[in-house]
C-alpha cells in the first residue's frame, strides 16, 4: 500500500504537492517557483459535507473571483450638484452624494470607481461605518 499523494494547495491546481513553501504549505514545484512573486491568500478550511477541507491557496483567477476591493485610501472628496438631468427622472438627484474610491481588486490592478449614495441612505451608512470604527480612534466629526 503506497502513501496517498497530497495535491498542491493552490485552488484548481492538479499537480502533486512535492514541495513546501512557507507559510503557504504543500505546493507543486511550479507554484513553489511562482507564488513568492505573486499576491495570494491562504484561505482557512471550510466545513463541507465531507468534513473540513485542507486550506486552499487563492491566486490569480481564484483571487479575482473573491470580488474583493481593497480601499487604498479614505475618500476625501464628494460631489453634489444639480448639473445633471436623469431619465427616467430621479427624485432628489441634486442632492445625491458621488464619492470616488481608489481601490485595488484582489489579484488585479488599481482602479477607481464612484459610489453614488442617495441622501436618505447617508445617515444609516455613516452610522454603520462609525460602529465599525476601532474604539481607540474616535471619528473625526
Ligand atoms: Zn500547484
Q: How confident is the model at residue 53 (pLDDT cuts 50, 70, 90)?
A: low
Q: Ligand 1 centre from 63 Cα, in Å? A: 15
117 CA from centroid of ligand 1 (Å): 43
Q: What is the pLDDT of residues 40-52, one digit of tens each?
A: 999 876 665 666 6
How sure is the predictor about 14, in pLDDT bands with cuts at 50, 70 and 90? Answer: very high
Q: Does residue 83 sit in helix, strand or coil?
A: coil
Provide the grid cell at 75.
475618500
Distance 15 CA to ligand 1 centre (A): 5
Tell me the mean pLDDT in the region 74-79: 94
Task: Locate the domains of the chain by residue range.
Answer: 1-66, 69-132
DSSP string, 15-63: SB--EEETTTEEE-HHHHHHGGGS-EEEEPP-EETTEEPPPEEEETHHH
Q: Within 13 Å of residue 48, how many CA atoms lie on the same side as its CB?
A: 8
> Residue 1 pLDDT more than 60?
no
Render pLDDT for 105-116 as a digit per residue (tens, 0 to 9). Answer: 999 999 999 999
Strand, coil or helix: 109 = coil
Amino acid at each position: 500500500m503506497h502513501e496517498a499523494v497530497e495535491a498542491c494547495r493552490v485552488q484548481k491546481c492538479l499537480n502533486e504537492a512535492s514541495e513546501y513553501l512557507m507559510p503557504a504549505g504543500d505546493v507543486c514545484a511550479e507554484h513553489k517557483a511562482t507564488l513568492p512573486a505573486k499576491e495570494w491568500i491562504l484561505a482557512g478550511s471550510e466545513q463541507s459535507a465531507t468534513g473540513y477541507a485542507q486550506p486552499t491557496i487563492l491566486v490569480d483567477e481564484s483571487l479575482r473571483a473573491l470580488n474583493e476591493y481593497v480601499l487604498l485610501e479614505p475618500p476625501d472628496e464628494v460631489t453634489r450638484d444639480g448639473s445633471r438631468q436623469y431619465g427616467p427622472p430621479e427624485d432628489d438627484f441634486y442632492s445625491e452624494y458621488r464619492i470616488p474610491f481608489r481601490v485595488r481588486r484582489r489579484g488585479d490592478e488599481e482602479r477607481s470607481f464612484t459610489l453614488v449614495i442617495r441622501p436618505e441612505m447617508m445617515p444609516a451608512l455613516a452610522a454603520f461605518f462609525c460602529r465599525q470604527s476601532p474604539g481607540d480612534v474616535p471619528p473625526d466629526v
